[in-house]
């Protein structure tokens, strides 16, 4: 249960990080995975809202500010979802949103970028690095990225011999002008 809650929150924040300002998020998929008892568990989170200023020709002005709705956590198991929303994990009653805000974004090569972001979960903020790709086709802009976080850094669940501390989060967002 603990493993599921933290990844879900992380995915929400990541998904929020890749939306575009003054554009409409036409599609987003934020997913997460973690190990529990040696087996991977997966889930999704939704409610992506974001303001993105991203122009590859002007990276000095690039910013991403986003949030996801923690209440949308879905692991296809309602008992686990309720446990993840509890105060032991994500505490949805007190912390309804996961937030992410860019600090710096750097072009690496081709369609590859790396961003440094302040990720806030349960009122705890940590600097994370997220490699992502950016592409356009007509008025459609696509952002894809992933990162790994430690759930204990954000006070999600406690020590566990069966639940992995590491959560992998994947984000896909498509925006239209």
Q: Which residues of the chain have pLDDT under 70?
A: 1-24
Pick the closest to residue 30 from 98, 101, 114 (CA basis). 98
Predicted structure pTM score: 0.84
User: Residue 86's CB: how many other CB atoms inside 10 A?
Assistant: 14
* 12 touches 48 (CB < 8 A): yes
CA 169 – CA 75 distance, rounded (Å): 14
Domain ranges of the chain: 2-176
Give the three-class secondary structure for 157. coil
| Half-sphere exposure in the Cβ direction for 53 (13 Å, CA) | 10
The string of DSSP codes covering 38-106 is TEEEEEEEEEEEEEEE--TT-GGG-EEEEEEEEEEEE-S-HHHHHHHHSTTTT-TTT--EEEEEEEEEE
Residues 6+ apart with CB under 8 A from 1: 36, 80, 83, 84, 89, 157, 163
> What pLDDT was estimated at residue 2?
52
Domain 2-176 in CATH 2.40.33.20? The answer is: no
> What pLDDT was estimated at residue 26?
80
CA 30 – CA 46 distance, rounded (Å): 7
> What pLDDT was estimated at residue 1?
55
């Amino acid at each position: 249960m603990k493993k599921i809650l933290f990844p879900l929150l992380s995915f929400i924040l990541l998904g929020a990080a890749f939306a575009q300002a003054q554009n409409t998020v036409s599609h987003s998929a934020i997913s997460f995975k973690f190990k529990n008892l040696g087996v991977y568990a997966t889930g999704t989170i939704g409610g992506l809202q974001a303001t993105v200023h991203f122009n590859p020709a002007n990276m000095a002005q690039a910013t991403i500010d986003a949030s996801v709705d923690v209440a949308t956590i879905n692991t296809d198991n309602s008992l686990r979802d309720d446990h993840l929303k509890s105060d032991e994990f994500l505490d949805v009653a007190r912390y309804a949103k996961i937030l992410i805000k860019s600090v710096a974004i750097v072009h690496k090569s081709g369609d590859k970028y790396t961003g440094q972001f302040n990720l806030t979960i349960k009122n705890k903020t940590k600097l994370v690095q997220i490699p992502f790709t950016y592409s356009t086709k007509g008025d459609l802009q696509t952002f894809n990225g992933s990162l790994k976080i430690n759930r204990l850094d954000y006070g999600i669940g406690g020590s566990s011999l069966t639940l992995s501390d590491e959560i992998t989060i994947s984000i896909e967002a498509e925006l239209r002008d």
